[in-house]
Structure 1
């Protein structure tokens, strides 16, 4: 369980509009909005390197202890906006949480082990939703496929949850499907069918053009 509390000093953001956020990012800060528990949203600035280090070490469900100019506040990242090219964190929404409070979060799933020879593993879902204490959130779940034979299916209900965690996702949601790996003959037949289909499509297009 992820019980480590990550301390982050913050600054209150006082400038708004189109100019300040890019300037804050150039200065190594991440604009953030803290909200929840019927409180007024608070606009903050986080140290970009420190925030990114916490996420790398403990994931996007990292419990944060924010130092807001001397005031301590527990929070969880609710949404993290990352630039698609630079991978720089551009903005984050933070949710106010309290000790003992239950929250619903997505937890990442990681496949471990090798399935039986001659099988193919397909992963249909990369995460599940659970409800758990905000201060006791798992960092992730390992899903073992070691030695799994063709025909095995793993659903959300099959994921072993720690004490205090409740599954929110549909229990029948498919996580992993173990199939028989296609043989060389199957692959060759598939290629031949694909070529034949392409020829038929080209011929149909030629006929349509001639009719016009």
Structure 2
């Protein structure tokens, strides 16, 4: 897949509220806020398709084009609809080249441990102090063929030259141990719990979707009533 251009056109917006945000999303844009470095907070709208593709990468850096000027911004928070997973709002913090930022970088496990051994994942991400424009997409850990007793701490990770651990370097990341009867029993219990959680989650999603549908209908009716009132007022004038 071709790399998506991180130069993002950002249009300054002066309107707010759920109704306006909904109209933006219908028009293929996402409301966002840009802050940091002592500058005033700027409210913008960015293209949904391009930004959604860029956000596939953790800790994405966007090169915002605001009023003809380039502003580098780190994606700090992404708010999504709990049911449809549509991006509703983005928080962006201004960064500069050469600046160090603290970010959580995902850990990727590669390979399979020795047959019969059990892998325990103790951390899913590592806190790094890294240069803003050179944040690694992930840190890889190879556990292929590893036997019981194998372990990796933050200090053992293979990091980029300009990145350092922001935290306790002795923290355990993964370890491999021998399988036991207890592990088998826990695996069965965990599977049953996961199936129950999935069923409950599906039911909850259906309830949220129904509630959201009713709320959207109410908002649409309110918008229509306001539009009608405005039209009547104009006609009276």
Q: TM-score, normalised by structure 2?
A: 0.73
How far does the alpha carbon of each residue in 1:53-74 deviate from its partner, in whole angstroms, 9 at most, with x for none? 1122xx1212211111211111
Distance 1:71 1:51, change over 3 A: same
SS at match of 2:141: strand
Q: Distance in 2 between matches of 1:105 and 1:69?
A: 29
Higher strand proportion: 1
Structure 2 match to 1:62: 60
Structure 2 gaps of 5+ residues are 190-237
Offset at residue 168 of structure 1 (A): 0.4
When normalised by structure 1's length, the TM-score is 0.81
What's the Cα RMSD here?
2.2
Aligned to 1:52: 52
Of 147, 150, 163 in structure 1, the residue corresponding to residue 148 of structure 2 is 150
User: Structure 1 residue 88: deviation in Å?
Assistant: 0.8
Deviation at 1:184, TM superposition (A): 10
- Superposed displacement of residue 153, structure 1: 2.0
Aligned residue-pair number: 185
Task: Report how far residue 137 of structure 1 moved.
Answer: 1.0
**CA distance in structure 2 between the aligned counterparts of 1:139 and 1:18, rounded to whole angstroms:** 33
Tell me which residue corresponds to 1:132: 130
- Structure 1 residue ranges without an equivalent (≥5): 192-212
Task: Between 170-179 and 97-106, report the one with greater CA deviation.
Answer: 170-179
Contact 1:143 1:159 in 2 (8 A): yes
Alignment correspondent of 1:41: 41
Pairing of 1:69-148 with structure 2 (within 5 A)? 69-148=67-146
